[in-house]
Structure 1
Amino acid sequence: MSTTLSQKPKLSLDNPDLRAWKAQVNGNGPVSTPGIFSSAFLQETGAMTRRLFIQLQRRPSTLIAGIIQPVMWLILFGALFQNVPQGLFGESQNYGQFLGAGIIVFTAFGGALNAGLPVMFDREFGFLNRFLVAPLASRYSIVVASAIFIAALSLVQTAAIIGLSALLGAGLPDPVGLGLVILVVLTLVLGVTALSLGLSFALPGHIELIAVIFVVNLPLLFSSTALVPLSFMPQWLQFVAALNPLSYAIEPIRYIYLHPGSWSLSSVVMHAPFAEVTMGAALAILLAFCGVSLALIQPLLRRRIA
C-alpha cells in the first residue's frame, strides 16, 4: 500500500493568515494593547514578579547571603570600633548606632545595583526574547516586576538590620521615622534599580555588568558617610561625599535614629562643605536622583522593549 504525502506548505506572502495579519498592522495601524493602566498589565506584572520569587525560593542563597553579609558588617565593624571615645562619631552613643544607617543604605544600594543581572541572564538564555514576542499588555511589566522584586528584598534586609541594630543597642526609630526610613530606602532602590536595568539592556553581557558593579560598589561606599562622618575626611573627599547620593540617604536615617520623635523636615542632617543640608533638602535630592535615573533609561527602554 502506498501513501501520498501532502505537499509541504510554503511560507510566502500568499499565506492567508499572514495577509490578514499584515492587513491589520498596515491597514489599521499598530495593533492596540491594553497598556500600563489596565488589569492585564497588573496581572502580567504579578505573574513576572511571582516568577522571580519562585526563582528565589529555588535558590534562597541569594536572600540568605543578602541578610548575613550586612549583619556581619554590623557586628564586626561595630566591635572593631566599640572602644573609641564617646562623641568621636558625633551624637552617636556607640559606633554600632552610627554604622546602622550606613549598613541599611549600602545593603539596599548593593541589592538594587544587582537588579539588572536577572534581566541580563534572561537576555543571554533567550527568555527575554520570548517575553518580547508575547502578547503583553505592556513590555514595561518586565522592568516593573524586577523593581518590585528588588524593593521587596531590600525591605526584608532593612528589617533584619533594624532588628539587629536594636539588639546591639542602637535603638529604634519612632513609628513615623520608621516610615520615613522605608521611604528613603525605596526611593534610593528605585533610582539605582532603574540605572541597573538600563545597563542590563545597554551592555553586551553579564561579564561587563558585573565589572561595572564591582567598579562602582566600593568607591561609592568609601566616598559616602556610611563608615565615618564628614569631619573625618580630607577636604577633597568631603566634597565628593557631599555629592554622593548615598550620603543623602544615610544622613536622614542616621538623624532619625539619633533624634527619635524630635526630627523635622527643617532639621539639619549634614554639614556639607558648601551648605547645610536639611532633612527636606536631602529627601528632595533623593527624589530628584530617582527622577533623573528613570528619565535616563526611558529612551533606552523604548528602543529595546517598547
Structure 2
Amino acid sequence: MPGLISGEFFQETLALTRRLFIQLQRRPSTLIAGIIQPLMWLILFGALFQNVPQGLFGESENYGQFLCAGVIVFTAFSGALNAGLPVMFDREFGFLNRLLVAPLASRLSIVLASALFITSLSLIQVAAIASLGYFLGAGLPAPLGLLLVMAIVLCLVLGVTALSLGLTFALPGHIELLAVIFVINLPLLFASTALVPLTFMPGWLQWVASLNPLSFAIEPIRYLYLHPDWTFASVVMAAPWGEVSLVQALALLLGFDLVVLVSIQPLLRRSLS
C-alpha cells in the first residue's frame, strides 16, 4: 500500500493510537473492568476447586495453577474480540468518514492504531493476571518462558483482532457486532482446555477443543508454567488426532493468523478505499 513505509504513516498511526488512549484515560472503567473480571475468575474458580485431589488436573499442583493459563488466554481473546468496537463507533458517528477523506499516508493506520491499542491493553491484563497468579500459588515461568508466554498471547491477539476488524466492516452496526461477540465468546471458552483438561471431556468435545485456536495458546502457556526445562519439541497437548508439540502449537497459531489476515484483506481494501 502506498505510503506504508514513511514517517507520515508512523506519525498518523501514533496519533490515532494516542487518541484511543486519551479516550481510555477519560473513561478508565473499561481497563479497570478488564483487569478486575479475570482476577475474579482466577480467585473464585481457584477457590471453588481448591479441595480437589492433587493430580486431578494433570501435573498442576492446584487448580489455580491449572486455571491461570486459561484465564490469561481468554482475557486476551475477549479483549481482542472487542477491537473492532472503537472503529465501529467511529463509523457510526461519522468520524471514520472524516479520516477516509483526510490526506493520510496510508489508511491502514486506522486499523493498525486499533490493533496497537488492544495489544497494549492485553499486555497490561496479562501482567496483572500473572502477578496475582504468582501470589495465589500458580508460580511463574522462567524469564525466557515468560517472554514466550507474551509472544503466544500477542500471536493470538493478532489473529483475533484482525477477525474483529473484519467483522466491523462486514456487519452493519455495533448491535450486530456485539451479538456476534456474545454468541462466540463463551462457547469458545467452554470448548477449549481453559477450565478442564481434554481427558475430562466427552469424545466429540475433545475433537472440538483440540481444534480450537484458544487451546493452541492455552496448552503451551500451561506447559511453560509447569516445566522450566521446556524445549520446542516438548509435547504440550495430547489431542485425539495426535500429539502436538510446542513448535507445532505455535505454527498452528501463526497459521490461524495468516488465514484471518488473508481473508480480511479484500474487505479492508474495499472498506478503506
The question of 1:40 aligning with 2:40 is answered: no
CA–CA separation in structure 1 for the residues paired with 2:113 and 2:261: 15
Q: How many residue pairs get matched? A: 273
Alignment of 1:273 onto 2:216: no
The alignment partner of 2:216 has SS state of helix
Answer yes or no: is 1:183 the counterpart of 2:148.
no
Does residue 247 (structure 1) correspond to residue 220 (structure 2)? The answer is no
Alignment counterpart, residue 216 of structure 1, candidates 171, 184, 192: 184
- TM-align CA RMSD: 0.7
Distance in structure 2 (CA, Å) of the matches to 1:248 and 1:296? 20
**Residue matched to 2:28:** 60
State the one-letter code of the partner of 2:134: A
The answer on 1:298 being equivalent to 2:231 is no
The answer on whether the counterparts of 1:34 and 1:41 sit within 8 Å (CA) in structure 2 is no
Where structure 2 has 5 or more consecutive residues not aligned to the other structure, the ranges are none
- Structure with bigger gyration radius: 1
Q: Would the alpha carbon gap of residues 34 and 237 (structure 1) be closer, same or farther in structure 2, given more than 3 Å must change?
A: closer
- 1:93 aligns with one of 61, 65, 88: 61
CA distance in 1, matches of 2:150, 2:262: 23
Percent identity at matched positions? 77
- The TM-score, its normalising length taken from structure 2, stands at 0.99
Q: What letter corresponds to residue 144 of structure 2 in structure 1?
A: V
| Structure with more helix by fraction | 2
Q: Distance in 1 between matches of 2:241 and 2:2?
A: 49
Partner of 1:286 in structure 2?
Answer: 253
1:1-306 mapped onto 2 (5 Å cutoff): 35-260=3-228, 262-306=229-273
What SS class does the counterpart of residue 213 from structure 2 fall into?
coil
Provide Cα deviations, 1:258-284, integer angstroms capped at 9, x if missing partner: 012x00110000000010000000000
How far is the alpha carbon of 1:135 from its aligned partner? 0.2
Q: Distance in 2 between matches of 1:34 and 1:114?
A: 28
Q: Which runs of 5+ in 1 are unaligned?
A: 1-32
